[in-house]
Structure 1
């Protein structure tokens, strides 16, 4: 049944503070950066005197190997044990995600989630998100990231002259548990040399794979990811708020709290969406590149053969049934299909689906990794700098136990085309 909710339009720096009195402190998540076992996602470790007592580094271990199946690990992208030594070069000892996209001028940008540096520093050098840049198109031997240079928007990271070995935060958050604890990237795309990054404002963490968002929105960068500004026209609120004068927004905004972008072969850009957490279904909307900041011009897939696309987002129908975790979508020339990677939090697997059209129908999932082969792995993102047309699909994924990002490779000759 359709219903309407009173929701407050929120900004990046000040997020729905009026609801703070009614919300409890967030529950812990599962990762353990800097040895923060059991309190990651709460306010206890951040900015408190306990930071230096919780460990000197991330819990990263040597790269795990996968001896069987269609997928192999290639190398760590982040962490002290990566070829990039991001702990000393970028102040990144622990992070996740690694969402990548082509910046349109020969580089791949990679966006990461909550990031930790020196575990003994005040607040453990927590940043809500960071971005690294690379020109590496041979991920088969790992991904190399050049050093950050202050003021250089093509260097490996946005860094300041005062902290040249610490990647800067991209999109801020108040960092208040139960109000707006962090800001997490979910997708990125370049249009005419301008970078667009979809992100979610997380209100509170719950049990593993569950969280609540305030809203999703698009941040814009005109300097290759060096600085970002949220486009207020793209905010999709996801909170009920009793605030006077709040804007009325349809509840189906919740279908697009996390995203993936695809440049279609038909001139449209497709945005795939899921609700907050890893247990919802997947939906899709499309728009012309020039209209990315105008939600009124988006069209939503309805599943109706007579009228498959509609400007009414309440008519949006699922294209993949739940549970769908973080996802990425891309055209693959080798298979001649669109590919969708996503996690299944129900069984701890990463899976691949194929389709001949961006909206599907999507095939049944083919497992790339199961929890027996490699446990705690999530967020598979197709690497945008991959060679075109080869038999190997390269993608990044994160692992809870290490709280870092790795590169993996799938042999597409072992993937059934459906």
Structure 2
């Protein structure tokens, strides 16, 4: 039994190290990228020529994006598209993005909101042109009532690359972001292969760091959490092989307030959309050292040898967590069947029963709260979040009112 465990661990660490060395390498264009953008829709003319970037000269951005459905039930409303050819940001012409999802959002520490997106398509008509594993966009817009306006213009390159082969490493998807001490940190998952709907396999999760406001990224090997549910003692600076790692393949960050100040809290879920949520905490200076993280066991905080207890029972999907001064509570959003909201007085809970704030009929997933929301700045009840739509494969801005 020990020999089998050692063999599995060695293979997993080797795969993680191989993938980690390619973090800063831009991926080659895919010959046959798959996803929602494989559908076709109404052609939107190019505002200027992207021919030098591999886009069809004089072509059109085609894809599944349609007008954003109107929804307003008095508490929650759809505001506008954030990405896509139909958005007022015109992300195809300005950034070479006709389809993308997720939109993890955080304040960079200087009032600018950074947003990390997942698999990104250039032109959905030509999937062998402009495909990226992930991208980063920025905004300084704080008045979101009429939509979110992105800053600057220019082709949005990948944040970090991936091997690009299913069964080894298909892609890298950002799941959480935070700014600490002037640096930007993004937690991401290394997807080994996509499975049936809402299921996928991961090699590991890891934390990339940027010292230049997200222009370049580096992944310290010490932050790699190999997705193997066993314990192995490895030298300092090596990837982590720990039984808690499978619980933290996707993440959300929040800074503690009040009695919880001085800690950063990381929420974790397994790969896919069917697991429970767990929580860890660490001091800001220890973000790159998972061996110093503490885990909530249900009654106390314990070290990496402890057994974390679920704080929200399955199924929990891609989630975001923030503190609302308006409610004086922590707020959690996820979307197993419509967008759900929970609240808690402490990061570890107990968390309230989920309330559905957006119906399943809107087909939204990955709700990511925006730090410039009045509900998160203490200036009003409006809470804004990015949410992706299945059929359109683009990110929309949604507003709800906390109460």
Q: Do they superpose with TM above 0.5?
A: yes
- Within a 5 Å distance, the mapping from 1:10-409 to structure 2 comes to 14-15=18-19, 31-35=35-39, 56-68=61-73, 70-121=75-126, 123-148=128-153, 165-239=154-228, 249-265=241-257, 266-304=261-299, 308-344=300-336, 348-372=337-361, 374=362, 376-387=363-374, 388-389=377-378, 390-409=380-399
Partner of 1:300, secondary structure, is strand
1:9 Cα offset (Å): 2.2
Partner of 2:129, secondary structure, is helix
| Residue 9 (1) aligns with residue 1 (2) | no
**Cα separation, 1, equivalents of 2:213 and 2:356:** 35
In the other structure, the counterpart of 1:22 is none
Hey, which of these two has a bigger chunk of helix by percent? 2
Partner of 2:110, secondary structure, is coil
Partner of 2:219, secondary structure, is strand
1:171 Cα offset (Å): 1.2
1:4–1:249 Cα contact (<8 Å) kept? no
Deviations 1:86-112 (A, max 9, x none): 011000000000100000012000000
Partner of 1:385, secondary structure, is coil
1:68 Cα offset (Å): 2.5
Q: Once superposed, what is the RMSD of the aligned Cα atoms? A: 2.7
Gaps of 5+ in 2: 22-31, 42-54
In the superposition, relative to structure 1, how do residues 280 and 36 fare at CA in structure 2: closer, same or farther (>3 Å)? farther
1:12–1:173 Cα contact (<8 Å) kept? no
**Cα separation, 2, equivalents of 1:327 and 1:211:** 16
Pick 1 or 2: higher relative contact order, CA cutoff 8 A, min separation 6: 1
**Cα separation, 2, equivalents of 1:138 and 1:386:** 9
In the superposition, relative to structure 1, how do residues 402 and 120 fare at CA in structure 2: closer, same or farther (>3 Å)? closer
**Cα separation, 2, equivalents of 1:118 and 1:275:** 32
**Cα separation, 1, equivalents of 2:253 and 2:137:** 19
| Residue 412 (1) aligns with residue 394 (2) | no
2:61–2:98 Cα contact (<8 Å) kept? no
TM-score of the two chains, using structure 1 as the length reference = 0.80
1:10–1:16 Cα contact (<8 Å) kept? no
In the superposition, relative to structure 1, how do residues 362 and 247 fare at CA in structure 2: closer, same or farther (>3 Å)? closer
